[in-house]
Structure 1
Amino acid sequence: MSGPVYFIACKNMKKVDREAVLSDPDFDETVHVVTESNPDCPTITEGMDEGAMYRFDESNWYRVADRWWAYVNWVVKLMKLVGLDNPPEQDSTVAFRDIFRYGRNDFGTFGPVASKKLAEDFALWDERARALGDEDFYFYYGMVRDMFEMASEGGACWLQSW
């Protein structure tokens, strides 16, 4: 895990009416995503069918850190922002819960429902995040907020590389 950390967000998804086979020559990762659940945060795929393939109109790549450890450090700062020292339980209602739980397995698709909830969390906590005075943290805070705002428009978000 030594390279940059990229997420992709897309919007305006439509379910493709055929089996999702990544090796299919018609599968194009620039316009398709396959729903993948994460056992540590099973609700993140809400609004999508498990294992289904979706076609999207628009996507964007987000380089959220230069290295995996830098992303983990950013998530730890986000946890501190909301008063946590450890990741929350699955049934917790703490802001950003699914981001905190996602990293335990580092895979899964944030569907439109989880993305909308996270975009709302980012909007609610924006003033406090800015007030920290940590320009680097706030820069990535804004980027990740934009990522989930895009995905909340009938789309999804997923980790692409690290």
Structure 2
Amino acid sequence: MGLDISAYSKLVEAPDAERDEDGELVYWQGMASFFDNPDFPGRFEGLKEGMVYRIEGDCSSLSSGYGTYNGWREQLAELAGYPAEPYERHGRAQHSHCVSCWNGAAGPFAEQINFSDCEGTIGPVISAKLAKDYAEFAERAEAVGGYFWEKYQEWKGAFDLAANNGAVNFH
């Protein structure tokens, strides 16, 4: 199992999308609906819960194992300058650069660092903010290089797409 991400641009509301008797879409091709994860308020901004959207722009996807993604996200938090802070996991004390964001810190990448690693959607408003963060930190990320830089570019591309009236869907 792992984390799959789909990014979309140019979403257009399709309130008249045909549904079957169970409320499921009859035709999914070129359409999408999104989940507003209630544990992360505000991330869905710019989208409507329960709305079906017609995809009139581009799409992209990326995948990662949960552990790999969380390790990468730890590097992202370190790159952004969040200090390593203690937290408890499975009864053991550990340190993570993500802790500040988990505790509500605002700053670069905070909305992604403090977001589900398995389900939910980041809408166009927060995607635009994150796209800006990715652009501002690109030079530093490139200096890190390797796998980190490779994934950084993929995430940057996803948020760049979604900033154009789109979404980044974690599923």
TM-score interval for Structure 1 and Structure 2 normalised by the shorter chain: 0.7 to 0.9
CA deviation profile, 1:7-64 (whole Å, cap 9, x unmatched): 1111111111248968524240x42222321233211111111222111123423224
Counterpart residue number, 1:54: 53
- Distance change >3 Å, CA 18–CA 87, structure 1 → 2: farther
Q: After alignment, is 51-60 or 141-150 more displaced?
A: 51-60
CA deviation profile, 1:91-118 (whole Å, cap 9, x unmatched): 53211111111136x2111111111111
Instruction: Report the alpha carbon displacement of residue 136 of structure 1 after superposing the two structures with TM.
Output: 0.9
Is it true that 1:158 corresponds to 2:169 in the alignment?
Answer: yes
Q: 2:111 aligns with which of 83, 95, 98?
A: 98
Letter in 2 for 1:41: F
CA deviation profile, 1:64-90 (whole Å, cap 9, x unmatched): 42x221111111110111122215157
Letter in 2 for 1:102: F
Gaps of 5+ in 2: 83-96
Q: Do 1:46 and 1:112's aligned partners in 2 also have CA atoms closer than 8 Å?
A: yes
- Distance change >3 Å, CA 35–CA 90, structure 1 → 2: farther
| Percent identical | 26
Partner SS state of residue 78, structure 2: helix
Counterpart residue number, 1:15: 13
Counterpart residue number, 1:44: 43
Q: CA RMSD in A?
A: 2.3
Counterpart residue number, 1:74: 72
How many angstroms apart in 1 are the aligned matches of 2:43 and 2:18? 19
Q: Do 2:9 and 2:59's aligned partners in 1 also have CA atoms closer than 8 Å?
A: no
Q: After alignment, is 117-126 or 41-50 more displaced?
A: 41-50
How many angstroms apart in 1 are the aligned matches of 2:25 and 2:38? 29
Gaps of 5+ in 1: none
Partner SS state of residue 116, structure 1: helix
TM-score by structure 1 length? 0.83
Q: Which has the bigger relative contact order, CA under 8 A and spacing at least 6?
A: 1
Number of residue pairs matched?
154
